[in-house]
Amino acid sequence: MSVILAIESSCDDTSVAVCNNGKITANVIANQTIHQNYGGVIPELASRVHQQNIVPAVAQALKDANVTKQDIEAVAFTRGPGLLGSLLVGVSFAKSFALALNIPLISVNHMHAHILAHFIDDPKPEFPFLCLTVSGGHTQIVLVKDYFDMEIVGETLDDAAGEAFDKTAKILSLPYPGGPLIDKHAQLGNPLAFKFAEPQIPELNFSFSGFKTSILYFIQKQEKANPNFIAENLNDICASVQHSIIQILMNKVKKAAKQYNVKQIAIAGGVSANSGLRNTLNKMADELGWKVYIPAFQYCTDNAGMIAIAGYQKFLKGDFIGQEVSPQARMEF
Ligand code: KG4
Ligand code: ZN
């Protein structure tokens, strides 16, 4: 038997989970709404709110899982990558908790955990599989050979896919984080109403910086001719931008699947909550004979459930870390 407490605090969500013998029995996510006022995450504010949220979130997770502090056998935590001040809150809490109870600590890489979220619920992928990890900070195609044997085979050279969603939303004066709102409006619009050129990037890599600028110029030009352009076409703009981002992502995944001769395809990270991406992936599965894996919504965006399941795999191997551990804003994959 193993009962693991997991802490995630890499960005703006304070999350605490409990993993009981490989099953997630609590996954508390305390969102920070304060950043909506600023159009993006303010690191200084994020760490302060983590300080306020972490103890109540732990209490709630223990309650949800119906366990006490004394039942916990190890503490898993996100060591990085992420915002240093945010990570410090979670890492310091995890260290203190483990020290007080004299139990081992487990260090987890946030990007590995997004992928390992696929091992929370059934059906679980078999190795090897390809995972498209798309979040606010990362866009990667990863060849997953084993739980902790993963290779990045393609990645963004500049902005992440989530940033392309969030920055488009900002251009359209939608509040932060814009990804879910673009998704909502896109469901009511025509994805072929406007065309945005696909960036020509070698191999399996991506670039969203020029793409984002092309959207800005397009909107500015249209607004010159019609000041109500955004209001009159919001759903179509969102649908078209979303369609273009999905095309860019899926074309590279198709290429990777061919190159590595893998037919098991997974998606992970906040953008994998996007309904258009989920639908497209399911359609491609039918067309290309892929078996696809899409996590439940609560395990797509940042959550401690994924840290707990990654921690559980390390627990089974006895892979623990000492009290001298410190967070890493940039952590090697
Ligand atoms: O993984 P995540 O929660 O945090 C990071 O580690 O970055 O990802 C957050 C990103 C944000 O850019 C957010 O706009 C995007 O995921 N996102 C979405 C959707 N839900 C979240 N993007 C498009 N459609 C969605 N439904
Ligand atoms: Zn994330």
Amino acid at 82: G
| Res 105: pLDDT | 98
Q: Do the two domains 3-115+300-317 and 123-294 of this chain adopt the same fold?
A: yes
What is the mean pLDDT of each successive set of 10 residues along the chain, which is 333 residues long? 96 96 97 82 91 98 98 98 98 98 98 98 97 95 97 97 95 92 98 94 96 96 97 98 98 98 97 97 96 95 97 98 98 93
CB-ligand 1 contact for 301 (6 Å cutoff): yes
| Token pair in block for residue 114 | 């997004």
At 16, is the secondary structure helix, strand, or coil? strand
Pair 182, 243: CB distance under 8 Å: no
- Ligand 1 atom nearest residue 276's Cα: 24
What separation in Å is there between the alpha carbon of 319 and the centre of ligand 2? 23
Q: Which residue out of 271, 303, 306 has the highest number of ligand 1 atoms within 8 Å of its CB and is therefore the one to mutate?
A: 271
Q: Which residue out of 165, 277, 281, 331 has the highest number of ligand 1 atoms within 8 Å of its CB and is therefore the one to mutate?
A: 165
CB-ligand 1 contact for 276 (6 Å cutoff): no
CB-ligand 1 contact for 137 (6 Å cutoff): yes
CATH fold of the domain at 3-115+300-317? Nucleotidyltransferase; domain 5 (3.30.420)
The backbone torsions φ and ψ at residue 328, rounded to the nearest 5 degrees and listed phi first, read: -130, 110
CA atoms of 246 and 283, how far apart (whole Å): 13
Predicted ipTM? 0.98
pTM to 2 decimal places: 0.95
| Res 37: pLDDT | 79
The residue extents of the domains of the chain are: 3-115+300-317, 123-294
Alpha carbon 21 to its chain's center? 24
| Token pair in block for residue 211 | 């793409």
Nearest residue to 275 via CA among 237, 234, 238, 304: 238
In words, the CATH class of domain 123-294 is alpha beta
CB-ligand 1 contact for 273 (6 Å cutoff): yes
Pair 323, 99: CB distance under 8 Å: yes
| Token pair in block for residue 247 | 């095309």
Dihedral of the alpha carbons of 52, 55, 58, 59, in degrees to the nearest 10: -120
| Res 41: pLDDT | 85
| Res 328: pLDDT | 98
